[in-house]
Amino acid sequence: MNMGIVKRLAGVAGIAAALVVAGAGPAFAATGTVHTDSGAPLTVRSSPSATAGAIGTIADGTAVTITCQTNGSTVDGKYGTSDIWDKVGDGYISDAYVYTGSDGRVAPDCDGSTLTCSTAGTGNPKTCAQAVAYAKTRIHTTNIDSYNGWCDRINAQNYGWSASGSQTAYIHWTQIPASFKHPGDYQVPAGGLAYFKSSGAGHTMISIGDGKFLSNDINGPGTYTETTIAQIKSKWGQTYVGWAQPWFKINH
């Protein structure tokens, strides 16, 4: 995260409040204060993305309780640039507009979406769990030609196909029926496929859960390694467009 302004002072008293559940390990919530550039209210989003639907607002200067935090779309705000989003009530607000007393995370990771990966209606030879398990067996750090530039085909192979049936990753995204897509949603379940757009072919990769993905090329040409949405965005300058259930043109 590139913070343009030092917004938080380490060790600010009272920022993190510990919530301990009897018989379980400690879970930490945090407090913060909303500060916008103009004094206007801050929009609360349905998911950690600036393009997600608005579900409410929080007035400038309001103290909030942050139950968890996650990464999402990058926002330029009062306190610089951040891709951290704070879960407040039933929605999310950009951490770029929240004073929390720390430059990093102050609350636990959000559990993510209640949505799960499903192959219903796709005709895929493999289930989501089988595809993830197979993808993990393919991890390697050497340059293999069949992985270099073939992100969409790799996803299809994970699900038991020889190819995706689409010309590029981004074209694939545009071909997926709306009922299978979750635009702007960063909470990708294991087996779900994340998509990006760029001036070229775009990119796609498979989620293995907990905000982690397997992608070709990101850590070297022809490799297949673990990564995140944030790394794809920062290293390649691609724009995240959302995730989809494993729907492939080859079967439709």
Residue range(s) defining the domain that contains residue 234: 128-251
Contacting residues for 71 by C-beta, under 8 A, at least 6 apart: 48, 83, 84, 85, 186, 211, 228, 229, 230
- Tell whether 89 and 153 lie within a shared domain: no
- Tell whether 61 and 167 lie within a shared domain: no
Tokens of 191: 């087996």
In a domain, 3, yes or no: no
Q: What is the mean pLDDT of residues 185-192?
A: 88
Q: Over the stretch 20-49, which tens digit does the pLDDT of each residue have?
A: 333 333 346 789 999 998 889 999 998 888
| pLDDT at 112 (0 to 100) | 54
Please give the mean pLDDT across all residues of the chain. Answer: 86
In a domain, 111, yes or no: no
- Tell whether 83 and 35 lie within a shared domain: yes
Percentage of residues of the chain with pLDDT beyond 90: 62
In a domain, 236, yes or no: yes
SS3 sequence, the chain? CCCCCCCCCCCCCCCEEEEECCCCCEEEEEEEEECCCCCCCEEEECCCCCCCCEEEEECCCCEEEECEEEEEEEEEECCEEEEEEEEECCEEEEHHHEECCCCCCCCCECCCCCCCCCCCCCCCCCCHHHHHHHHHHCCECCCCHHHCCCHHHHHHHHCCCCCCCCCCHHHHHHHCCHHHEEECCCCCCCCCEEEEECCCCCEEEEEEECCEEEEECCCCCCCEEEECHHHHHHHHCCEEEEEECCCCHHHC
Q: Over the stretch 216-229, which tens digit does the pLDDT of each residue have?
A: 999 999 999 999 99
- Tell whether 143 and 217 lie within a shared domain: yes
Q: What is the mean pLDDT of residues 101-121?
A: 80
CATH number at residue 33: 2.30.30.40
- Tell whether 74 and 175 lie within a shared domain: no
pTM above 0.85, yes or no: no
In a domain, 114, yes or no: no
- Which neighbouring-strand residues pair with 71? 84
In a domain, 135, yes or no: yes
| pLDDT at 28 (0 to 100) | 63
Q: Over the stretch 129-160, which tens digit does the pLDDT of each residue have?
A: 999 999 999 999 999 999 999 999 999 999 99
- Tell whether 59 and 148 lie within a shared domain: no
In a domain, 77, yes or no: yes
